Amino acid sequence: MTVELQEDNRGATIDAQFKALSDGTRRALLEYLVREGEQSVHALTAIAGVSQPMVSRHLGKLKRARLVTARRAGRETFYSARAKGLAPVVQWMAVYGALWSQRFTALEDMGA
């Protein structure tokens, strides 16, 4: 029968998003964008603790995961956290978090 773990269309995005979020530096960049709003690569490099090329690559990954958007302005590129970007992951959490609670909440209210 194979309940079959298949990742469907949306699955690719989920995968990309979890992968994108699984790196501390990337999360930090994202958190900074969320808190402070649109930032240039230059500004982000200043706080990232890694080299500028690395920041560019991290931002590229966040962009492919649709968690940020880029806006070119002259020689600078401004990145912003993308509205509704977390939706796929949030949705996954909602579904499995819910089942999770449903299965356990009654059993052990604050247990392990």
| Residue ranges binding a copy of itself (CB under 8 A) | 2-5, 7, 11, 14-15, 18-19, 21-22, 24-25, 27-32, 34-35, 37, 47-49, 69, 81-86, 89-90, 92-93, 96-97, 99-100, 103-104, 107-108, 110-112
Using the minimum distance from each CB to a copy of itself, give the nearer residue, 15 or 76: 15
- Radius of gyration, CA atoms only, the chain: 18
Partner in contact with 71, chosen from a copy of itself, DNA, none, beta carbon below 5 to 8 Å by kind = none
Residues 49-71 as b/e (b if ≥16 CB within 10 A, e otherwise) read eeeeeebeebbeebeebbbbeee
For DNA, the binding residues (CB under 7 A) are 19, 22-23, 25-26, 40-43, 45, 50-54, 56-61, 70, 74-78
Strands of the 76-81 sheet, one edge to the other: 39-40, 76-81, 68-73
| Residue showing tokens 């690559």 | 57
Task: Say if residues 42 and 57 touch (Cβ distance below 8 Å).
Answer: no
Partner in contact with 103, chosen from DNA, a copy of itself, none, beta carbon below 5 to 8 Å by kind = a copy of itself
